[in-house]
Structures are given as C-alpha cells and as structure tokens.
Chains A and B, each alone.
Chain A
Amino acid sequence: MPLAWTNPPAGTQSFALLLSTIPTPGTVKYDWVLYNIPPSTTSLAKDSFLVGTTGLGDDGPGLTYDPPCSQGPGAKVYTWTLYALSGTPTFAVPATQVTGTIVSSTIASLTLASASINLSYSRVQATAPGSGTNCVYVRNSTTVAKSGTTSVNCDGTYAYVSSLAMTTDQTMNGITSTNLQVPTTQNFLGANGWKIPTSPILAQSPTSVASGPIGVAINGIPIFNPCVQNGNCTAASGDTKGEGQLDICNGHAGRADDYHYHAAPLCLMAGQSTNYWNTHPVGWLLDGFGVFGYNNADGSTPSRDSCGGTTISGAQVPSGYPYTYAYHVINTFPYITNNCISGVPSPDLPNQGSKYHPMRQPPVTPFNDTNMTLTTDPTDGYQVLQFTSAIAFTTNETGSDSYPNAPGTYQIRYKQVTGSALTTLLAANKNATATACWNFQFVDSTGKTTQPSVSYCR
C-alpha cells in the first residue's frame, strides 16, 4: 500500500517523513527517517527507494519505505508524520548520523504544515513470522556486519534480506585482470530482498549453481559461485579468483556494475577474529543454510561434501544455529560451494536475473506469433517449428541483388538426444552440469538445411 498525500501548503520546498512508535510511555522510537523529499512528490510506493535522503532509524538506517510489519508480538501504534518544509534542512552531523530526533528538532523552524496518520497493529506471538527463531537468527546475524547495511523481514517461509548491495569496504582494489565496472546500487529491497528459506531442507539431489548469485553475505552483498560468467568452472579454468578478477575482498562488480563476492568475503570477515566466523554466519545461501568461517564451531575441520557443505552435530553446531547443515569458506577453489547447493533452493535461484535493477535489464520481447506452428514429424519424431513467410523481409532494397530471405517456409527441427549420443555430449566439459540435450536443424526457405545440426544442452 503506498503512502500518498495531497494539497501541500504554498511554498513547500521539501518534505520530511518520520515513522515512529512509542514503545513505552515517554519514549519515541523512530522506525523510518526520510528527508529531502522533492516538493513534487505526492506518494511513496511500496519498496520505493532513492527518493529523498534516508536517515538513521533507531533500528538502523532504513533503506526503503515499507508498510509496517511488526516483527514481534503485541499491539503497536505506528505514526506517520509528513512535514511540509519551507526549505531543505541542513544538519551538523554526517548524513549517516542523522537520527529521527535530529530531524525532528532541525525541521521545527522550517515546518509549514504537518499531517499524521496512526495505524494500530497487533500480532500474537504464535503468528508473528518475524519473531520466529530462525528468522531472528538470520536477522541478528546481519547486525554484526560493519561494512554494509541490511534489513531482514520474514513472512513465515523466507527471510528477506534487503540491501542496496553496496559496501563501505574498499572495493575493486587488487584486481589484476581487466575490469572496467564500477559498483553501483542495486534494488534488493523489500519484496525484492534475497529470499532465504527459514525452514531449509536438504534436497534429494544437489542443485547446480553454475553461474550467478547463490546467496547473500550478512552485509547485503550477493555471493556468487566461483565461476566466471560461463559457469561450470574448475580450479584450472574459469575460476574468478584464480584469473585475477577479484579484489582484495574477494569481490568485484559484474557487467551490471553489481558488486558481489565469489569467495570468502575477506574484508567483511576482517571486522572480527577469524575464529569468530566459525560460530557466526558470514552469509546465507539461497537454500537457507548458513555460510560460516573456515572451521566448525568446535574448531574441527569441516568434512565438506560434494557441494562443499557439511552435516554438523553436537559441538560442531554454532550456538543458536537452528540447523545441522552448514557451508564453510576455504581459501582454495571452490571457496564456498562446488558448483551446487545441497538444500532446496529458494525461488531466487532460478529467478536470479529478475532481481537486478530495472535500469540494467534489457528490453524483453515476449510475443505471440500466430504465424508459427509447432508440429511433430511422424517420420523421425522431430518437432518442427515452422514459419511461412509470404513476403521477403527486406522490401526496401532495389537493384539486381536477390533477396537472401525470400518468401517461403522456414523450419527449425529439434529432437531430444538419447543413448550413447547423449552420453557423448554430456561428457563434454561445457555440458558438465547439463542433463538433457537436443539436436537442432535449421531449414531455410528452399527446404534445405543450411549448416550441420547444432546440439544444445541444458
């Protein structure tokens, strides 16, 4: 639900918004602090961000406007107060230290008018997903991060780890291969936060994570598998760290200027002793299991299964950690996971690309094409995608050149590969994580295949 307003007083130069609660009589807790909102603004959409300047809430800097979602039991009254200001406030402290109290006192002399609404909300302990043990553990794990800002909300199925994917660490230092990217903010906020299952279960078989994000560090920076963008890497080929693509923090910005780690987040971990991370997560993978330091909680060496995770028990389990399976970092390939994760992944794994900032997403071109049909050729079992072109595509050319794309029927024929041919294809290194292959034939308007068959494996 958005927050909207109308009829600001004449002369309004900016708005400020404070969301507060009164936990105990005589005290005010500021949940949300926002100022320098442009005077043309008339609403804040759910999950809006980069509108105005965020201040420091009493639970830490809020990153986005979110509707109230009490994480604990009991009745609470939330008060939104919007201030129309005759100017833009200036503060005597850095932006990172501007609290609700400071905003409230600073804007007093600038306030032309204000309006408030209250919302009362109560939740019983049994139905408060934000107060569940696992949710609280994930949330608390992020509070120790000194080099990034996250917030965690839960819905009973997932902990949503929100961040702008920026860190205060010195990023992009130490890269020895070419990387011209510049880390920029990403919108991993609210519903677009990273979904970490709060009731993780081990899957019957591992899930391939050949490329892209596989989790998120406690400072809100995504964690990727070790590979360059082609995926399916080995220590000898395609290892980002081995190829000098990572900075001294074991991260870099990808082609979307999205900063992420491919190995142990060293700069984040430098904020605590090495052993500290044996008992505190440095991050969470998308199957819901935590990533810890180099060793088990009792100092023993993790056994590391085929995915790099470890089943832990007894003193190996960090205090308070709700699960008996965990990942650990190591300083050698594959650093965290070995191209797979063991638990049932959250929807963010297959949908990883859609989480990135819309500005960075290319135009997607879905369409219905009624000029095409898909049939099965009974003579050989191939599926046939067929398109009949009544006209030449290029009609703006004249002269003696013949049109290469003449009218006619074009076909793409494909059939799943089985037996020894499939075995041969899957044995190729590039298909290391594939399980199925197809042969494709491309037929032009003359009815001829224009080149040898092409195989595609996934």
Chain B
Amino acid sequence: MKVLPAVALGLTLILAPAMRAHDLQDNRATLVLRDNSHVSLTLYIAYADALHAALAPQQPIAEFMMVYSAMKPELLQKELLRAQAKFQAETRLYQASGKELPLANWVWPDAKQVQAMLQQRIMQAMVDPAGHHEEPLEIRADANSREEITAVRIQFPEEFQRVLVVSYRPNQLWVEPKSWSPAIRF
C-alpha cells in the first residue's frame, strides 16, 4: 500500500457544518401552542455534533464520524437509542406555574437517516470541502395539559448547545359550508 507523503503525517479533515444561507445549521426549536393546552415541539439541531457530545465526547469528532458512519445500522440504532434517551430526559418543558409539562410522542430520525447524514458529511469533508450541504433531521414531540397554558419555559440538553426558539400560537376557527368566517385577524 503506497502512503501519500503529503498526508501521512496527519490528515486534516474539516467537518464543517453546512453553511450556505439556506443551509445554516442553526440549532432551532419551534414551539406551537394550540387549543390553549397542546404544545408541539419541533427541533432542528446539529445532530452529528450532539451525538458526538453525547456518545463519545472524549474522541475527536473525525474519529467519531468515521466509526459511526461505518457502523452496522442495527448497532447504530442501539447507540442512537442511548443518546435519544438522554436527550429526551434532558429536554424539559415547564409551565409558568412551575409545573412540568411532560413531552411525549417523540419522533426521532431513524438509524438509516442518521447514518446517511454522517456519511454525507464525511464524504463532503473528503472530496467536496467547499460544498457543504446537509439535510436537516427533524425531531418532534408534544405535550398536553389539562390546564390552560399561557407560558412555558424550556431547557435543552447541553449537547444541543445554543438553540434558537421560535414560538407562536396559531389562530384557528371552523368555517361551515357556504358560510363566511368571522373576520380573520392577524
């Protein structure tokens, strides 16, 4: 096996997240309150970085990416479950009263999606370092309350780093057949 002299002493592998304007890898959460009692949470985070921080923080991220991108999907799924359990436990939602709103119905990207993302990122780093593009992975959960929700506070796992939270409360009403709705105000 011939060793390439330029790189034999140490490979510089830059695993930069996607950075085109449409692809900015903001760690982002969207909170939507519906019917005064239901909060849905949608998360877009730098998932590879979060997994690295949760599963193998002692290892350089390049080594983490290499191992996990090559891992058998069924084994990766096992690892993901461990990380997800941590992320779920440390994503906490509280009402203004201080009462916790348990988040449920978590939907996480599956191992196949995660591994494709890891592979995409490492392939880009190797042959296309200027061409970052990374499909965001979506995480969802929701919470219900018997009490009217007027305000919430949220905390994320440390592995998510800083998260930009967008929150809103949509206006909803039913419009009956052949009837005009009331004025819909914005």
**Which A residues fall within an 8 A CB radius of B?**
180-182, 211-213, 222, 224, 228-231, 254-256, 258, 260, 350, 352-354, 356, 360-378, 384-385, 387, 389, 393-395, 397, 401, 404-405, 410-412, 414, 436, 438, 440, 442-445, 450-451, 454, 456, 458
Given contacts A414-B123, A450-B70, contact A404 B76 (CB under 8 A): yes
Interface locus among B61-69, B96-104, B139-147: B61-69
- Chain A residue numbers with a CB within 8 Å of B62 are 367, 369, 372, 387
Query: Do most interface residues of chain B lie in helix, strand or loop, or is the interface mixed?
Result: mixed
Given contacts A373-B11, A378-B1, contact A365 B16 (CB under 8 A): yes
- Chain B residue numbers with a CB within 8 Å of A224 are 21-22
28 A-B contacts, Cβ less than 8 Å apart? A211-B22, A212-B21, A229-B23, A231-B133, A255-B23, A260-B21, A352-B20, A356-B21, A356-B24, A362-B24, A366-B14, A367-B12, A368-B11, A369-B12, A374-B8, A375-B2, A376-B4, A378-B2, A384-B1, A404-B78, A404-B79, A412-B69, A412-B70, A412-B126, A414-B123, A442-B70, A442-B119, A445-B67
Tell yes or no: B153 within 8 A of A by CB. no
Tell yes or no: B73 within 8 A of A by CB. yes
Least CB separation from B9: chain A residue:
A370
How far, in Å, is A52 (CB) from chain B's closest CB? 26
Tell me the complex Cα distance, A361–B9, Å: 31
Q: Give the one of A369, A395, A401 with max B CB within 10 A.
A: A369
How far, in Å, is A268 (CB) from chain B's closest CB? 19
Among B55, B61, B131, contact of A458 (Cβ-Cβ < 8 Å)? B131
Tell yes or no: B161 within 8 A of A by CB. yes
Q: Mark B38-64, 1 if CB is under 8 A from A, else 0.
A: 000000101001000001101111111
Interface locus among B26-34, B87-95, B173-181: B26-34
How far, in Å, is A51 (CB) from chain B's closest CB? 22
How many A-B contacts are there with CB distance less than 8 Å?
205
Tell yes or no: B122 within 8 A of A by CB. yes
Tell me the complex Cα distance, A194–B30, Å: 31
Given contacts A254-B21, A410-B67, contact A372 B11 (CB under 8 A): yes
Query: Could you tell me if A256 and B4 are in contact, using CB atoms closer than 8 angstroms?
Result: no
Tell yes or no: B128 within 8 A of A by CB. yes
Query: Could you tell me if A405 and B123 are in contact, using CB atoms closer than 8 angstroms?
Result: no
How far, in Å, is B44 (CB) from chain A's closest CB? 8
**Which B residues fall within an 8 A CB radius of A?**
1-4, 7-28, 30, 44, 46, 49, 55-56, 58-64, 66-73, 75-76, 78-79, 82, 115, 119-120, 122-124, 126-128, 130-133, 161, 166, 168
How far, in Å, is B125 (CB) from chain A's closest CB? 10
Tell me the complex Cα distance, A395–B127, Å: 32
Query: Could you tell me if B66 and A410 are in contact, using CB atoms closer than 8 angstroms?
Result: yes
Query: Could you tell me if B60 and A369 are in contact, using CB atoms closer than 8 angstroms?
Result: yes
Among A182, A353, A366, A370, contact of B24 (Cβ-Cβ < 8 Å)? A353
Query: Could you tell me if A444 and B70 are in contact, using CB atoms closer than 8 angstroms?
Result: yes
Q: Give the one of B22, B23, B66 with max A CB within 10 A.
A: B22
Given contacts A372-B13, A389-B63, contact A405 B79 (CB under 8 A): yes
Query: Could you tell me if B72 and A404 are in contact, using CB atoms closer than 8 angstroms?
Result: yes
How far, in Å, is A215 (CB) from chain B's closest CB? 13
How far, in Å, is A232 (CB) from chain B's closest CB? 11
- Chain B residue numbers with a CB within 8 Å of A410 are 66-67, 70
Tell me the complex Cα distance, A364–B23, Å: 14
